Amino acid sequence: MTRSIDDAVDILRASRRVVVTTGAGMSKESGIPTFRDAPNALWANYNPEDLATRAGFRRDPALVWRWYAERRAMIAGAKPHEGHLALARWEQRFDAFTILTQNIDGLHVAAGSKDVVELHGNIFRYKCFDHDHPVAEPLAGAGEPPRCACGSWVRPAVVWFGESLDADHLCAAYDALERCNVLLIVGTSGVVYPAAGFAATAKANGALVIEINPEATPASEIADVFIAGGAKSILPVLATKTVDPIAGP
Ligand code: BV8
């Protein structure tokens, strides 16, 4: 692993424009279960297609509302770890440093990162199910799920399967991927699109790809460097070893 860390540091030192894409593995060491890692994986007891979809919500709005309320309560107690903080510190040492996260927990922003695209929304934001009306935080006990002023349901402002991502977010993501010298992929199983396609997009644009994950994923096949490890321990090491590229080596 030391060799791969040194290889990654060499690439980062020579880079000025960085994109980092993160998945649930980035937040695992903040105490938030991932979707697939047993035993307390989020999807161990639920099928995502039953819950994280419009049809699933229509079928049983109270169940989906409660599933998100349980996750929100757990996430509310989570704090950014040293890996999130390392990314926030690292940001100002490059010409561009964009985080494209699939996570809805808000931990990158909480850690102080400024250029964050929450591709799949944020569990602490709400909207109207039928018309996307913005909805302030519903009053506790306001029924499950509460109602929008227009009479429709209130839902979490997250992107469900089968829903398109926000056009501005996609535009920002592909613009950053087109211009970056390096894509850092942290803590994602690389299954859910369009985020799962970012590695191929970056490679096609001439960027180098570094992946940090305890296990190999489909992206590992095209990554230039694979670091087998956890986000909390690896990211601070990379950040410390990467001297300020603006000032040169
Ligand atoms: C869309 C929010 C247009 C809600 C989520 C192309 C091909 C095939 C299918 C599609 C395609 N394009 C679109 C689709 C359909 C679908 C899709 O991708 N389906 C999959 C199942 C095949 N995509 C969509 O619907 C997207 N919309 O593209 O619109 C469209 C629509 C329909 C058809 C065509 C086009 C919207 C997807 C967004 C869904 N919303 N979340 C909520 O959270 O409740 S997805 C959710 O699951 C997450 O956000 C994340 O994206 C995904 C989970 O993946 P990971 O984050 O990677 O987590 P996972 O548990 O899987 O892995 C954790 C990893 O961490 C592991 O690798 C583990 O080894 C590692 N790890 C563990 N510990 C650590 C660690 N890493 C580092 N450190 C550690 N300590």
Please identify which of the residues 81, 84, 108, 120 carries the catalytic annotation. 120
Residue 37 belongs to a domain:
no
Residue 229 belongs to a domain:
yes
Check whether 73 has a pLDDT greater than 90.
yes
Residue of the nearest CA to atom 44 in ligand 1?
52
Average pLDDT score over the chain: 92
Check whether 248 has a pLDDT greater than 80.
no
Residue 152 belongs to a domain:
yes
Range of the domain at 49: 42-76+128-158
* Residue of higher predicted confidence among 33 and 115: 115
Residues 103 and 65 in one domain: no
Residues 150 and 214 in one domain: no
- Structure confidence at residue 249 (pLDDT): 45
Task: State the burial class of residue 174 (Cβ atoms within 10 Å of its Cβ: 0-12, 13-18, 19+).
Answer: middle
- Structure confidence at residue 247 (pLDDT): 47
Instruction: Tell me if the pTM is above 0.85.
Output: yes
Q: Is 96 in the pocket of ligand 1 (CB under 6 A)?
A: no
- Count up the domains in the chain and report the number: 2
Question: Integer distance in angstroms from the first to the last C-alpha of the chain?
Answer: 22
User: Residue 245 and residue 41: Cα distance in Å, rounded?
Assistant: 39
Task: State the burial class of residue 149 (Cβ atoms within 10 Å of its Cβ: 0-12, 13-18, 19+).
Answer: exposed
Residues 134 and 51 in one domain: yes
Residues 71 and 146 in one domain: yes
Q: Dihedral sign, CA of 87, 173, 21, 207?
A: negative
Residue of 46, 193, 234 with the most ligand 1 atoms within 8 Å of its CB, for mutation: 193
